[in-house]
């Protein structure tokens, strides 16, 4: 294979994502994969949805609304909230 003048890249790394909630309902993190990104860095803004106790879910929903610009109902519609720890 002659790659003279070309770049061979098996994929790209997205070092700054905002998939804090989306990863829970969209495991493929679309449309990232549509743009040849094969690796994402998650939680780099200090915001993640785990670990999270049941009494913190309303606050997280409001935080996602303010930081990510999603509707307040979106996290509850897309997240099963069946976890409280990282392993779960």
pLDDT tens readout for residues 46-78 = 677 778 888 988 888 888 888 878 888 887 787
Residue 59, domain member (yes or no): yes
pLDDT score at 41: 82
- Structural domain tally of the chain? 1
64 domain-assigned = yes
Tokens of 11: 């994929």
CA distances to 61, 62, 78 from 66, in Å: 9, 6, 17
Task: Note whether residue 67 is domain-resident.
Answer: yes
User: Is 35 among the domain residues?
Assistant: yes
In a domain, 6, yes or no: no
Higher local confidence (pLDDT), 46 or 85: 85
In this structure, is residue 4 part of a structural domain?
no
* Closest by Cα among 26, 58, 56 to 42: 26
Instruction: Give the domain range for residue 53.
Output: 12-78
Q: What is the pLDDT of residue 79?
A: 81
Residue 43 included in any domain: yes
pLDDT at 17 over 90: no
Q: Above 80 in pLDDT, residue 42?
A: no
Q: What is the pLDDT of residue 85?
A: 85
Quote the pLDDT of residue 5.
93
Tokens of 50: 């785990």
29 in a structural domain:
yes
Residue-wise pLDDT for 19-39, tens only, equals 877 887 888 888 888 888 888
């Amino acid at each position: 294979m002659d790659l003279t003048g070309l770049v061979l890249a098996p994929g790209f790394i997205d070092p700054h994502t905002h998939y804090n909630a989306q990863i829970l309902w969209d495991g493929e993190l679309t449309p990232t994969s549509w743009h040849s990104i094969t690796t994402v860095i998650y939680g780099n803004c200090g915001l993640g949805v785990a670990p999270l106790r049941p009494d913190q879910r309303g606050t997280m929903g409001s935080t996602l609304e303010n930081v990510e610009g999603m509707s307040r109902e979106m996290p509850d519609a897309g997240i099963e909230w069946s976890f409280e720890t990282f392993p779960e």
